[in-house]
Amino acid sequence: MTDTLSVKAENYVTHFSYISSTLIKFHRIHRFEKELYEVDVLPKMWSLAIGTLKPGQVSLPGLHKEISIENNSAVFIPPFTPIRWHIHPGILEFDAFFSYYELPPDLPKQPILLKWDSTWKPRKESEIFQIIKNAKDP
């Protein structure tokens, strides 16, 4: 099953691919004209955002300072978990997976930042879960 849908707006274009009845992958190109903070929270679904970002393009609040998301990185976001992005002006291009599929109990309950190997091409939830379980800090 690979149905697709594209959504185009003034500042972004998103391409959705339905990998299965429970797993969606999307690719977005988004133009940010000014610096901003944006909060995301997904009810009942988890996500894994993946990108090869430039230093200083996107960061997350850390315990004592902001953590820059750069190079090949991913952010795993469990359901009902708010995450606050600090986004700087420019073009942001990234992929993400979304699913309602139940998370295994041994996955993190809070967002985590991990290294992403660009050769990884998960096609089902179990493959994504294994990557997260074996995650290394970027």
Please report the pLDDT score of residue 26 as a whole number: 94
Q: Which residue has the tokens 């894994």?
A: 48
Does 1 score more than 70 pLDDT? no
Please report the pLDDT score of residue 101 as a whole number: 95
Does 91 score more than 90 pLDDT? yes
The model's pLDDT over 98-129, given as tens digits with 9 standing for 90+, comes to 999 999 999 999 999 999 999 999 999 999 99
Q: What is the mean pLDDT of residues 32-59?
A: 95
Domain ranges for the chain: 3-133
Cβ contacts of residue 23 below 8 Å, gap of 6+? Answer: 97, 98, 99, 101, 124, 125
Please report the pLDDT score of residue 23 as a whole number: 97
Q: What is the mean pLDDT of residues 32-39?
A: 96
Nearest to 46 by CA among 28, 23, 71, 17: 23
pTM summary value: 0.91
The CATH architecture that domain 3-133 belongs to is Sandwich (2.60)
Across the chain, mean pLDDT equals: 93
